[in-house]
Amino acid sequence: MLSAERLQARRAGIGGSDIGAILGKNKYRTPLDVYLEKTGEKDPDDLSGNAAVEWGIRLEDVIAEKFADDTGLKVRRNNRLLVGDEPFMLANIDRGIAGKPEGVKAGLECKTSDPYAFRADEWGPGAEFYGRGDALEVVQDDDRVPDSYLFQCVWYMAITGADLWFLSVLVGGRDFRTYTIRRDDELIDIVKRVAGIFWREKVLARVPPAPQTQADIETLYAMDNGKAVEASPELLHTWARVKELQTQIKALETELNGTKIGRTYVGGLKDQLRKAIGEHSELLLSTEGKPLATWKQSKSSKVFDLEKFKKDHPKLHREYQVERPGPRVLLIKG
């Protein structure tokens, strides 16, 4: 968990891990997430127990060392919080580079990636290097990297004044690649302008950005005021379409699972497969063919018997009860 001092420092401005989310280019965070963290309405997610985060930190030195071996460039750790042209522009870079590859100032971002989450369409093959150190020549025909990483490097160049940022990634512990992100002043100006608007007109003004996901909507409108709103023609069309889709989904679910009678279902297509498999484990295309379906016993698990606990320890059960606000439930009427 982040200390109070580090939380305060993160709330003081926009960092490299924030900029992609603000631009709508982060798969895991939205502009509203960043806004809530910066205004102190929400703490950043506690990733102290996240194995991917832990190993990303532990392997940062290894990745930086491998980059130095491949390029002949000297890298140096930077433990200072860097501030850009405006006070809200913050950066904690992984490594600075002592020399000047291609005659320019440069930096290095280190990443790790789970091979199962690695999407080949988001990454190019990586750069090839010729020469060593300041005489390094980089050949890279395809510099694709995920957008959130691209804008993180762009943000660091905006703050440091660098003209080149290397991004090294270790995929699955064995596939090592390095990419070069070159300075684009037009792109930097756009990113700085969007970040400035977000900081001044959203964070400082305490005006939350528009929700982008269901989670955003439920967070922003966690409580209702008990009043009603009149439907516009566009919303009437949306309501009618939802009703139509719900009817179609219900019909498909009935065909798939059967008609619900009491606590069970009767007559569904899935039951035809279960009957066919019977005491066996698999349904095959042929005797030695491709499996079409399996029906196997899942692994046993242990669960907490709440009802028995309430019966055996009623006083203790009441002592540990807490009241939580109920979630808002969307019900389609009519």
Residue range 160-183: mean pLDDT, rounded: 95
Q: 112: which strand partners?
A: 170
- Exposure string over 67-106, b if 16+ CB within 10 A, otherwise e: bbebbebebeeeeeebebeeebbbbebbbbbebebeeebb
Contact status, residue 188 vs residue 154, Cβ threshold 8 Å: yes
pLDDT beyond 70 at 63? yes
Task: Kindly report, residue by residue over 85-99, the tens digit of the pLDDT.
Answer: 999 999 999 999 998
Task: Kindly report, residue by residue over 173-195, the tens digit of the pLDDT.
Answer: 899 999 999 999 999 999 999 99
pLDDT of residue 2: 47
Residue range 301-321: mean pLDDT, rounded: 93
Task: Kindly report, residue by residue over 258-302, the tens digit of the pLDDT.
Answer: 999 998 999 999 999 999 999 999 999 887 788 999 999 999 999
What's the CA gap between 183 and 187, in Å, rounded? Answer: 8
Task: Kindly report, residue by residue over 140-152, the tens digit of the pLDDT.
Answer: 888 899 999 999 9
Cα of 71 vs its chain's centroid, Å: 31
Q: How far is CA 232 from CA 172, 197, 245, 329, in A?
A: 51, 31, 20, 21
Helix H or strand E segment including 260: strand 258-261
pTM of the model: 0.83
> Of 167, 172, 29, 27, nearest to 106 (Cα)?
167
Task: Kindly report, residue by residue over 44-57, the tens digit of the pLDDT.
Answer: 776 667 788 888 88
Contact status, residue 295 vs residue 281, Cβ threshold 8 Å: yes
